[in-house]
Structure 1
Amino acid sequence: MIEKYINETNESNLFTTPVTIKTKNNDIVKLDAIFQDTKPEGSNLGTVVNSHGAPGSHKDFKYINPKLEESGVRIVAVNFPGCGYTEYDERLQNDNYERIQFVQQIIDALNLSQKLIFIGHSRGSENSLKMAANNPEKSAGIISVNPIGIRPHRGTKPIFLFHLLAFLWRIQWLRFFSNWLMYQIYNKFARFKVNNGEICGVAMNLMAGLQYSDALPYIEKFNQSNAKAILLYAGKDWLIEPSVSREFRSCFKDNIEVISKHRGDDSETTENVVNELKNGRKTIGVFCQRDGHFLQKDRADLIAEAVLTILKNHSENSRQNA
């Protein structure tokens, strides 16, 4: 059952649907997932499914959405539990196993069956990859923005500290202090803008729950599909170094790197990416030399143009193969 969701600020295009998550501890967690859906009636062109980072929300993609909406693309953007919209449950382990269930049930509830592009930012990139790999018959492509790699990046080191802080936050009687501490870490040191410490604590647990190398079998599955991949990474990303991103890109079939020396969107880079897609390239890495960790803002036009090109090519190929 899908219902309209109205919050205190009366945001548009928000909906809710019940989901049931089974944790690795065999707990059954029932949640009301809150998500954005800009075109509930559906779109013949295709649908983008957005997965945000940690911390993050559906708002992370607000710079990309206008051009896609104007072109008739449907946008479905999830809000993971405890990140500001969907309620949190203390029994959650905050791992990839749960997140896959969460997004899959939203996709199934909406009956999304074809022409899907999964976009993920940072922590959400692993989810987008896995959703595309698990739904090859539905997927036209993925766009990974500042993606998590197959090994830890500098923003998650030292790893033991993340696990220690995540453990500290889970102690209920320390929650008042740990919420304050997490807020300081994320807002003052990690340079995020987060409303409260509770969201920061969940984000810390989501990062501690990362399993980097478990992406490899999903990449292999993705490589066997017809879906396209755009991987955008940045030279001034203070959390994820380019070497991690390039190693990640090297795992994908038929990959090439396009380098942009400009800050923000530039027509030459966008045109190069679009041409590579039109020529049948499966995987395109885009190294944005002068940009940082929020490429969904800095390269919004490139991402939107890539989405439109992938969907158009996918539709044409489907007609030819029919």
Structure 2
Amino acid sequence: MTKEEKAKYPVKHVKITTCGQLYERWKENKPLYERAPKNGLTLDVEYADNLSLLNWDSDSCDTKLMVCLHGAPGSHSDFEAVIQHMTRLGVRVIAPNFPDYSVTIKTDIFRHSAEEKTEFIKDFLRAIGINRIDVMIAHSSAIYPTTMLWCDQKGPRIESFVLLNPGGHRRIKAMRPVWYTEGGVKVYQNKWGRTLFQIFGTAFLNITKTVTVKADNMNNVILSASTMRYSRFKQLEEKLIKLRESKIPVLLVFSENDRLIEKEIFYEMAEILGANEDNISIYDENGCLEKDGSVDDTIKVVSFRSGGHYCFLKYTNVVNKACDQLLRTLDNKLIQNEVICDTN
């Protein structure tokens, strides 16, 4: 049985060529990229796309488009519940898989940096003909390339954001100890270093508890570390401020008991985005509403006392309802704009 047959939504593939211009720029001061292909890397992208399941014409102006980007590691299957829910609402959902660590081993170039992932998303969306996104969902480390894409004038127009347990604007727990995220990543990029990690790494990490990512797959451990090491996380606060100033609707969802990211960082990000205590809905350890936040067309925050790094899977119904509210906010803005245009 193929992946397509197992999945509860359509799975597609498209070949793209990406990062060519980026690598050409980097060749000037980064010797690593002197051997990069002139046109970039050719990659096969697997992605979810529920278009064939929708009940009405895909070209209808009423059809909303949602793009979902997973963390590291991750895949489009992380958004299965979102896809099924949005399909019932007639919302098209596209969720591509980012390259896994095998691409790094094969090319010895792709480092899963925020810049590379931004180019990857941009080229993928261009390949399937997408230039406007109603809702961009980013889980965990996907916030870094997502916000870069939004700032890119050549990228698609993005109308709103859903940030699920987003990576932080300063160093998070998952990026400590620094010697591992910095040194370990460099060692693993060498084939002899990978051999040592494959033999001893899992046992070492299980004993020392130095990282919070599951150590059962060393490629995934290093993928997570590489993504965060090259995330440009220090630039995120500036982008969050720009999001706030742009008045683009943002839904921020997180858990206070996230093992990768401290709750203080999430609340700091909420404040940077312009949220105050009135905007925050809090759900207790059992997922019951403890405090209801006020409705705001620009910022909405949902905090779970106990939801882990994948709270959108544990509390699917709550997060889906919050996304529904975001879609209604977009509809209201569209109506208001039409009224203004008619008046003029």
User: TM-score, with normalisation over the residues of structure 2?
Assistant: 0.78
Say which is worse superposed, 205-214 or 248-257, in terms of deviation.
Answer: 248-257
For residues 45-124 of structure 1, the aligned pairs below 5 Å read 45-82=63-100, 89-124=107-142
User: Aligned match of 1:212 in 215, 229, 233?
Assistant: 233
Q: Does the CA contact (< 8 Å) of 1:178 and 1:201 recur in 2?
A: no
Name the CA distance, whole Å, in 1 between partners of 2:103 and 2:5: 12
For residues 272-311 of structure 1, the aligned pairs below 5 Å read 272=292, 276-277=295-296, 280=297, 282-311=298-327
Report the CA distance shift for 1:130/1:168 in structure 2 as closer, same or farther (over 3 A).
same
Name the CA distance, whole Å, in 2 between partners of 1:84 and 1:115: 29
Structure 1 unaligned regions, length at least 5: 1-5
Name the CA distance, whole Å, in 1 between partners of 2:187 and 2:105: 20
1:182 to partner: Cα distance: 5.2
Q: Does the CA contact (< 8 Å) of 1:55 and 1:83 recur in 2?
A: no
Residue equivalent to 2:329: 313
Residue equivalent to 1:163: 182
Name the CA distance, whole Å, in 2 between partners of 1:69 and 1:181: 45
Report the CA distance shift for 1:155/1:194 in structure 2 as closer, same or farther (over 3 A).
closer
Say which is worse superposed, 140-149 or 34-43, in terms of deviation.
Answer: 34-43
The question of 1:13 aligning with 2:34 is answered: no
Once the two structures are superposed, residues 52-109 of structure 1 have per-residue CA deviations (whole angstroms, 9 ceiling, x without a partner) of 1111111122232221111111111121111589996321122111111111122222
Higher fraction of helix? 2
1:165 to partner: Cα distance: 1.0
User: TM-score, with normalisation over the residues of structure 1?
Assistant: 0.83
Residue equivalent to 2:149: 131
Report the CA distance shift for 1:208/1:254 in structure 2 as closer, same or farther (over 3 A).
closer
Q: Does the CA contact (< 8 Å) of 1:140 and 1:311 recur in 2?
A: no
Q: Does the CA contact (< 8 Å) of 2:174 and 2:212 recur in 1?
A: no
1:191 to partner: Cα distance: 6.1
Report the CA distance shift for 1:101/1:87 in structure 2 as closer, same or farther (over 3 A).
farther
Q: Does the CA contact (< 8 Å) of 2:76 and 2:96 recur in 1?
A: yes
Report the CA distance shift for 1:93/1:305 in structure 2 as closer, same or farther (over 3 A).
same
Letter paired with 1:317:
K
Name the CA distance, whole Å, in 2 between partners of 1:145 and 1:194: 23
Q: Does the CA contact (< 8 Å) of 1:45 and 1:312 recur in 2?
A: no
- Rg bigger for which structure? 2
Name the CA distance, whole Å, in 2 between partners of 1:80 and 1:148: 16
Name the CA distance, whole Å, in 2 between partners of 1:42 and 1:298: 34
User: Aligned match of 2:44 in 24, 32, 39?
Assistant: 32
Say which is worse superposed, 114-123 or 181-190, in terms of deviation.
Answer: 181-190
Residue equivalent to 2:192: 173
Name the CA distance, whole Å, in 1 between partners of 2:164 and 2:3: 28
Name the CA distance, whole Å, in 1 between partners of 2:105 and 2:135: 26
Secondary structure of the 1:276 match is coil
Name the CA distance, whole Å, in 2 between partners of 1:205 and 1:243: 23
Name the CA distance, whole Å, in 1 between partners of 2:301 and 2:259: 19
Name the CA distance, whole Å, in 2 between partners of 1:298 and 1:237: 12
Once the two structures are superposed, residues 133-169 of structure 1 have per-residue CA deviations (whole angstroms, 9 ceiling, x without a partner) of 4479732211111111211111211222211110111
Name the CA distance, whole Å, in 2 between partners of 1:296 and 1:181: 34
Letter paired with 1:19:
T
Higher relative contact order (CA 8 A, sep 6+): 1
Name the CA distance, whole Å, in 1 between partners of 2:188 and 2:106: 14
Q: Does the CA contact (< 8 Å) of 1:16 and 1:34 recur in 2?
A: yes
User: Aligned match of 1:141 in 157, 160, 164?
Assistant: 160
Say which is worse superposed, 282-291 or 72-81, in terms of deviation.
Answer: 282-291
Question: Considering only aligned residues, what root-mean-square deviation do their CA atoms show, in Å?
Answer: 3.1
